């Protein structure tokens, strides 16, 4: 069967689009690893290009600059976290189960991508939060604060400052991932990012967080 000229045109134009999308995805994945290891300041587009087998000019063609690539990485890497509240449909839950569910979901996101805490660490110490809004982490603090406020309003959570409490909750969740190379000395022979250890961390984190916000 002979394809029509229109069908040929659609196929011919679709391939470059798909190829471009695949190439950009490869660049973003390699760039995420680079930024997690070195931060924006010390990251090198030459290493990213070598990792993805593209010329450096290709990176600049798609992302304009190293900063543009960094912003694109932040948006891609943190997309699941930034939309976590909507995915979990928290409005249908009362504050206690909502907090547990959100923390569990946040920890699951971190478990699936341990690069995120390192990227956040470098963003703070190198960039002083210049690009932080692209991470979606502000939504995490907002969601946690809203849950805590609702819990205080109905008397299931103690009186606390919601934003500070949200910061502490995130700290409990994220420090394990940031410092796991140091913490491995506490569990000799254990793989700190194994499913078993991540599950233990999640259970302890949720228990600690709930104990800290509930009325005694």
What is the value of pTM for the model shown? 0.87
Residue range 46-78, pLDDT digits in tens? 999 999 999 999 999 999 999 999 999 999 999
Reply yes or no on whether the pLDDT at 14 is more than 80: no
Place 8 in a pLDDT band, splitting at 50, 70 and 90. Answer: very low
Q: Give the 3-state secondary structure of residue 2.
A: coil
Q: Once rounded to an integer, what is the mean pLDDT over residues 153-174?
A: 97
Residues of the chain with CATH 1.10.357.10: 5-74, 79-213
As assigned by CATH, the class of the 79-213 domain is mainly alpha
Q: Give the 3-state secondary structure of residue 126.
A: helix
What is the chain's percent helix, strand, coil content, to nearest 5?
80, 0, 20
Provide the pLDDT for residue 19: 83
Q: Is 5-74 a domain of CATH 3.40.50.450?
A: no
Phi, psi of 89 (to 5 degrees): 55, 55
Place 6 in a pLDDT band, splitting at 50, 70 and 90. Answer: very low
Tell me which DSSP letter residue 216 carries: -
């Amino acid at each position: 069967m002979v394809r029509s000229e229109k069908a040929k045109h659609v196929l011919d134009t679709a391939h470059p689009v798909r190829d471009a999308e695949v190439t950009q995805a490869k660049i973003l994945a390699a760039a995420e690893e680079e930024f997690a290891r070195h931060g924006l300041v010390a990251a090198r587009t030459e290493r990213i290009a070598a990792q993805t087998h593209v010329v450096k000019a290709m990176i600049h063609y798609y992302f304009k600059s190293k900063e543009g690539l960094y912003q694109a990485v932040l948006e891609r890497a943190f997309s699941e976290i930034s939309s976590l509240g909507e995915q979990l449909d928290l409005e249908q839950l009362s504050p206690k189960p909502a907090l547990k569910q959100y923390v569990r979901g946040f920890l699951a996101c971190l478990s699936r991508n341990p690069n995120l805490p390192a990227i956040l660490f470098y963003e703070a110490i190198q960039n002083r939060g210049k690009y932080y809004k692209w991470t979606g982490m502000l939504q995490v603090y907002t969601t946690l604060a809203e849950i805590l406020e609702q819990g205080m309003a109905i008397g299931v959570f103690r009186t606390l400052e919601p934003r500070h409490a949200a910061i502490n909750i995130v700290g409990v969740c994220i420090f394990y991932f940031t410092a796991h190379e140091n913490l491995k000395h506490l569990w000799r022979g254990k793989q700190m990012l194994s499913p078993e250890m991540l599950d233990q961390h999640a259970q302890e984190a949720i228990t600690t967080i709930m104990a800290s916000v509930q009325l005694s």
